[in-house]
Amino acid sequence: YMQVRKKLDPLTSLRFFAAAMIVSGHSHRLIGSMNLANIFSFAQGVSFFFVLSGFILAYNYPLLPAKSDILRFFKARIARIWPSHIAAIVLLFLLTGALNVGGLPNISMVLFTAIANFFLFQSAIPIKDVFLAFNGVAWSISTEFFFYLFFPLLITRISWFFKLAGVLFALCLFLWLSIVCNISSDESLPTITLMGVLYVNPLVRLFEFFLGVVCCRVFLTKRTVEQMHKFPTYTFTLIELMVVTLALFSMWLTPRLTSFLGLEGQVGAVFNYYLVKAGSAPVFAILIFIFAFGRGFISRMLSLSPMVWLGEVSFALYLVHMPILNWYENNISHFVFFPKPVVAGLYWLLSIYIAWLLYKSIENPCRIAILKFGQIGKPVLIKIFFGGRQSLFLCLLISSLLAFKYLPGLISYEACTAECENFISQFSLIPSAGFDRYADLLAIRLKQAPSQEGKFLEMVFRAKRITKSTHLAVHIVAKDGQIVSQIDSLLVKSQRLSDGQLWLERVLIPNRLVDDRSVGIGIALYDDPRKPYRVSYPRTDFDGRRILIDFSELKLAGTM
């Protein structure tokens, strides 16, 4: 039971700014954010999405009077989020050759987590390796899916007081449990942390969604409309400036509020964690309420077609930005000689471009096909996906993904003859390491990267039989061989070499990946990550499938 109402273009555009906050927060460590991520809590972009989602759904679905209306509502919401969610996981695999399940202990947990992701209930499981598996940002899509399940109840004629009391009780209950159970705020721990209990938990985040629902009900009341339309345009412009300023101030203040109030210990840690992630939700509700009227100058700028377009692709941008960031990190050695502003600009342009292609070739046609499923025949269904411009968008998406996968290695390829021979004479690995029938590692060294943000691990290999799916895994290892951090990359340059030819492989190891536990490097080659190639070398582990080299050995080569 969806009412056709006037489209709120300013709110559509604001979705892009919420997505931009999240993208900037995630990419800050690799490409920077002009220091904005250190000033404002960009994690609250998710909170903005949750409040806005509650507002928009209440605006479009003020009532769901019959069971059939509720079923149509669920069908429409699944059509909106599920196809792009699955497509983003496929995109992650195509770009990186991995599925981000390395933290899961066994195949049973991988299968369980895959099912959880497929059916979008991973956010109900407060284990980091589960809710951040595959495309990690999809936890919020799962949380949003739980909001959809609650939505018909939230708009019923039950007293608003009781509904508000219910969502506040859930929030307060988990805040209390986090305090009395002394749950850690350290998000790096594999156990249950505040990330799973307060950040991802749908019952906690339901309060923000409900704020949006309540805000919309106030917006739709006749008295509100009559009162707000008395204000002239310049007054609305001033109000818009004020609420934007208030939102920015809130995003700066909330991460610091517990320090200002002198809250310490577990109480301070819990409330600080929640405020950092969701403390500005009430302010976001006010901002959304004001911009929904679209009366001020800022609203009119947000209603321009380019801004609305950015808002429309923002959901796809949110889903694809992490796979592209992972791809960049895997290929970072190809970009270290570019200035950071150039890298940042390229990252944003590529992310928006791929988001647009995903929106046009997957999100839109899949949504139409799901909504019309059973009402249209196979010819019409084929036309939805492949007819007219759709085939062009699909071809662009496929060709772009192929370029992402293979172009970095092809561009950076340099024939290695005298250079490699000179490298071997200075930094030879004695004895060399033979990776089955595929390649030999002849020399290795560490070299300071120009950016001072890490070191290059440079290796000279001799080709034997490199396949198109051969990957290099570089592990930073602890004393007991445990993996501290891992960098995987596809061996593209070597695919064009014949038996016996040499190539130089360079991998950037950022300083942040090396900690006090790190004592050396492990190196493996694989087609299947579950079964690396066997290797002949004096020091190996993983059943003879990974070589181990101490940092001290590399220092003796005079490279540190």
Res 498 pLDDT > 90: no
Position 396 scores a pLDDT of 94
- Taking alpha carbons only, the member of 388, 217, 183, 361 closest to residue 288 is 217
Question: Does the predicted TM-score (pTM) go above 0.95?
Answer: no
Mean pLDDT of 288-317: 96
Q: Which residue has the tokens 């001072």?
A: 452
For residues 60 and 6, what is the distance between their CA atoms, to the nearest angstrom? 10
φ, ψ of residue 516 to 5 degrees: the values are: -65, -20
- Taking alpha carbons only, the member of 141, 246, 151, 158 closest to residue 206 is 151
Considering the chain, what percentage of its residues have pLDDT values greater than 90? 66
Q: pLDDT digits over 359-384, tens only?
A: 999 999 999 999 988 788 888 888 88
Mean pLDDT of 187-200: 93
Mean pLDDT of 200-225: 93
Beta partners for 447?
456
Range from 156-170, 179-193, 246-260, 437-451 carrying the lowest mean pLDDT:
437-451
**315: which 2 tokens?**
């959901």
* 556 membership: H or E segment, kind and range: helix 551-556
Q: Who has greater pLDDT, 21 or 471?
A: 21
C-alpha separations of 420 from 15, 86, 523 in Å: 51, 43, 19
Res 219 pLDDT > 50: yes
Res 463 pLDDT > 60: yes
Range from 55-59, 113-117, 233-237, 505-509 carrying the lowest mean pLDDT:
505-509
Res 413 pLDDT > 60: no
The answer to whether the beta carbons of residues 498 and 124 sit under 8 Å apart is no
SS (H, E, C) 39-103: HCCCCHHHHHHHHHHHHHHHHHCCCCCCHHHHHHHHHHHHHHHHHHHHHHHHHHHHHHCCCCCCC
Range from 175-184, 225-234, 356-365 carrying the lowest mean pLDDT:
225-234
Q: Which ranges of 181-262 does DSSP label H, i.e. alpha helix?
A: 194, 202-220, 222-228, 233-253, 257-261
For residues 364 and 80, what is the distance between their CA atoms, to the nearest angstrom? 8
Residue ranges with strand state E in 408-519:
428-435, 439-448, 454-463, 471-477, 483-490, 502-510
φ, ψ of residue 34 to 5 degrees: the values are: 55, 30
Q: At what angle do helices 281-292 and 9-31 cross, to 10 degrees?
A: 140
Q: Which residues of 17-42 are buried (b: 16+ CB within 10 A; e: fewer)?
A: bbbbbbbbbbbbebbebeeebeebbb
**535: which 2 tokens?**
């290797």
For residues 384 and 360, what is the distance between their CA atoms, to the nearest angstrom? 11
Res 468 pLDDT > 70: no
For residues 14 and 45, what is the distance between their CA atoms, to the nearest angstrom? 11
Position 164 scores a pLDDT of 95
- β 483-490/439-448 pair status: unpaired
Res 92 pLDDT > 90: yes
- Taking alpha carbons only, the member of 204, 216, 292, 284 closest to residue 248 is 284
Q: Which amino acid is at 229?
A: H
* Spatial CB neighbours of 120, under 8 Å, sequence gap ≥ 6: 81, 82, 85, 138, 141, 142, 145
Q: pLDDT band at residue 556, thresholds of 50, 70 and 90? A: very low
Res 226 pLDDT > 80: no
Res 395 pLDDT > 90: yes
**145: which 2 tokens?**
């899916």
Q: pLDDT band at residue 153, thresholds of 50, 70 and 90? A: very high
Res 175 pLDDT > 50: yes
Q: Which of 4-8, 32-36, 208-212 has the highest mean pLDDT?
A: 208-212
The answer to whether the beta carbons of residues 442 and 455 sit under 8 Å apart is no
Position 560 scores a pLDDT of 38
The answer to whether the beta carbons of residues 73 and 151 sit under 8 Å apart is yes
